[in-house]
Each structure stands twice: as structure tokens, then as C-alpha cells.
Amino acid sequence: MRRKLRNAKRDLAYQRALILYNEAVKALKRGMTDLSRRYVTLGLRLLSKADVRKPIKYRRWVCKNCLVPLVPGISCRVRIRRNRKQIIVTKTCLRCGYVVRTPCPRGKLGNRRKSGA
């Protein structure tokens, strides 16, 4: 019984954190950066109290320095750099200047154009 209750709490915390992230993005698009930061911090606190792993949206699309959701064109700049072995996606936060570089294997992004033609 306790295990079911614990899993239900974790699932509920995970879902609420995703809802808070979506609300943070909406608030950011309306120009309310402080409110969006508040939503992100509430979501992160909820996940840590429930002992749940952070969703991919929180790991990749939140600035680790200023906790603003990274929305391309609004709060971050996204650049793609091609190397020989891999492609590097660079996200720069426009608020604080924090840079995140994510390596991606060549086959995942490089073959997209060939499959469409």
C-alpha cells in the first residue's frame, strides 16, 4: 500500500512539474520573466521534494544559471556547429549569457534531409 501511495505522489509531482514548466513558457512569451522563473523554481522544488528525476524539459530547456526557460528566439539563441564526427548544438541564454553545448551524433541530425527527398 505504501509503495502505491509513494508512486502516486511521484507521478503527481512529475505531472505538476510539467504543467508548471508549460505555464512558465507561456508567462515568458507574455514578457513576464520573473513569473516564469518562479514557476520553474516551484517545479524544481516539487521534483526534489518528491525525489523524482528531472524531466528532459528541465534538464535541457532551463538555464542552469538564471533558471529561465529557454525558448528559442525569446530567451535563447540556438546555433548548430558541424564537426567531422558530431554535430554540436549550442544554446546561449539571452538573459545571463550562459552557454550550453550539447553534442549529437552525426547520424541523428545529418541524415534528415536525405530521408525527406
- Domain chopping of the chain, boundaries: 2-116
Give the cell for residue 9. 505522489
Map grid coordinates 552525426 to a residue. 106
Report, as an integer, the average pLDDT of 87-98. 95
pTM of the predicted model as reported, rounded to 2 decimal places = 0.82
Helix ranges (H only) for the chain are 2-29, 33-50, 56-60, 106-110, 112-116
Coil, strand or helix at 95: coil
**Are 14 and 54 within 8 A, CB to CB?**
no
- List of long-range contacts for 47-55, beta carbons under 8 Å, 24+ apart: 47/13, 47/14, 47/17, 49/13, 50/9, 50/10, 50/12, 50/13, 50/14, 51/10, 52/10, 52/13, 52/14, 52/17, 55/14, 55/17, 55/18, 55/21
d(CA 47, CA 114): 40
Name the least confident of 1-5, 34-38, 52-56, 94-98: 1-5
Percent of the chain scoring above 90 in pLDDT: 75
What CATH number does domain 2-116 carry, 1.10.150.120, 3.20.20.105, 1.20.5.420, 1.10.3720.10?
Answer: 1.20.5.420
